Structure 1
Amino acid sequence: MMTIKLILVDDHAVVRSGLRRLLELNKRLEVIAEADSGEQAYQCYGELKPDIVVMDISMPGMGGLESARRIIKRYPAAKIIIFSMHETASFASQAIKSGVKGYVTKTGAAEDLTRAVLEVANGKTFLSAEIAQKIALETLSGQSDPIHLLSGREFEVFRLLAEGKKVEEVAEMLKISQKTVANYYTMIKQKLGVTSPIDMVRFAIRHGLVEG
């Protein structure tokens, strides 16, 4: 059996160490590098071309979703699994929409992540059971989450602004101009039907994207 080479991306060294131990219990899995930011993950991917990247969403700098989006844009064959505390369908849907192959919650069963890596390596997509159920219920109920209207980049801008970041901070994190951030902000307000920064924060809290 071929060894599956992995990069782990999380800004907490203790989490990476635990993940490495957990994943390497399976003899097919080998962690070849670790990164503590989205920027470093992008650089590592280009240098090492791993089979799979396991990445957190919430990290300083550009964050996991934006990093995944950039890696996939540059390397379309990239296989990325998001491993996150965020249990909302919105995060998972945005991740899958951006080309991510798996979404595993940190509160799920320990073996979920290993299973996700093996399935994604075999060309499948993997979602934690609770996330899959939330997405299915949302679809069955016919309740369209307006967050799905946002593009991947709009979602990242929205999330950062809702967390209280200033326009110039968002521009620096995503490596885009302040004018571009302002343009995204205008589009986001139109799509979500919010009119002020306070409305945006309330909307984000209501949908579980930031903590109240």
Structure 2
Amino acid sequence: MNPLRIVIVDDHPMFRHGVRTLFSTTPDLEVVGEAANGQEALTLASELIPDVMLMDIRMPGESGVEITRKITSRFPAVRILILTMFEDDASVFTAMRSGAKGYVLKDADKDELLRAIRAVGNGEAIFSPGIASRMIEYFSMSRPAASEEMFPELSVREREVLYLMTEGLSNAAISSKLEISGKTVANYITNILNKLQVQDRHEAMRLARESRKDI
């Protein structure tokens, strides 16, 4: 059986070296490339079509979430396993919505990481135990309204602002509609961009519109 071909995407060279060293004694896994940022990851995905890409979330330039969205849409054969230190609900749900097949924390032990890579390489979805427990708890709760289900990381008011943005309203119009100050609207939009891990309001609006199509 051919080994799973892995690309490591992380902006810390020492971390990439550590992961590569970890895999050097694992015959069924082969590191075929490393990327320090999103653009390098896109290039390697195109050139190598690896089986699995280990993707960090926070990197210079485009976030790992946005790069994951681009890779999974352009190269569906490439499976993404998020490997990060961030375990907040916003990061988890946004990453999975972007097309990632798994989510593992960087403090995972060797056996857990290897198990996750092999599972994702075989087309399965997998999460760190603590994250899996939170997701089970979330989905076992009473079913929320559609807008809340799409963006559980946003507050009620933030989802309201996002909805008005997708309707084409300017900040001033949103301010008038909700009877809040323009500064407050701007603060809400900043929160939305940070929680959805997108770069600007246009990406947030696109993500919201795509999600609404699935209702």
TM exceeding 0.5: yes
Q: 2-side partners of 1:111 and 1:184: how far apart? A: 50
Q: 1:68·1:100 contact (CA, 8 Å) conserved in 2?
A: yes
- Partner residue, 1:10: 10
Counterpart Cα distance in 2 of 1:14 and 1:144: 42
Indicate how the Cα distance of structure 1 residues 109 and 204 shifts in structure 2: closer, same or farther if over 3 A, else same. farther
Query: Could you tell me whether the CA contact under 8 Å between 2:51 and 2:77 is conserved in 1?
Result: no
Alignment RMSD? 3.5
Kindly indicate whether residue 197 of structure 2 is the aligned counterpart of residue 196 of structure 1. no
Take 1:68 and 1:143, find their aligned partners in 2: how far apart are those partners? Answer: 27
Query: Is residue 145 of structure 2 the alignment partner of residue 149 of structure 1?
Result: no
Asked if 2 retains the 8 angstrom alpha-carbon contact of 1:10 and 1:36, the reply is yes
Q: 2:94: which partner in 1?
A: 94
Amino acid at match of 1:149: M
Structure 1: distance between partners of 2:75 and 2:8: 17
SS state at 1:196 partner? helix
Shift in CA distance, 87/143, structure 1 to aligned 2, threshold 3 Å: farther
1:58–1:94 Cα change, 3 Å: same
Q: For 1:109-143, what per-residue CA distance to the aligned partner results, in whole angstroms no more than 9, with x for missing partners?
A: 33222111111111211111111111112223348
Partner of 1:61: 61
- The separation in 2 between residues aligned to 1:201 and 1:147, in whole angstroms, is 19
Query: Identity over the aligned pairs, expressed in percent?
Result: 32
Alpha-carbon separation, structure 1, partners of 2:15 and 2:148: 29
Q: Hey, what's the Cα distance between the residues in 2 that align with 1:93 and 1:184?
A: 26
Q: What is the total number of aligned residue pairs between the two structures?
A: 176
- Aligned amino acid, residue 96 of structure 1: M
Offset, 1:76:
1.8
One-letter amino acid matched to 1:90: A
Distance in 1 (CA, whole Å) between partners of 2:191 and 2:40 is: 32
What is the correspondence of 1:103-114 to structure 2 with a 5 Å cutoff? 103-114=103-114
Letter in 1 for 2:39: E
Question: Does the Cα contact within 8 Å between 2:20 and 2:31 map onto a contact in 1?
Answer: yes
* Residue 86 of structure 1: how far off its partner (Å): 1.0
Q: Report the counterpart of residue 77 of structure 1 in structure 2.
A: 77
CA contact 1:94–1:148 (8 Å) conserved in 2: no
Read off the aligned partner of 2:44 and give its amino acid letter: C
Normalising by structure 2, what TM-score?
A: 0.69
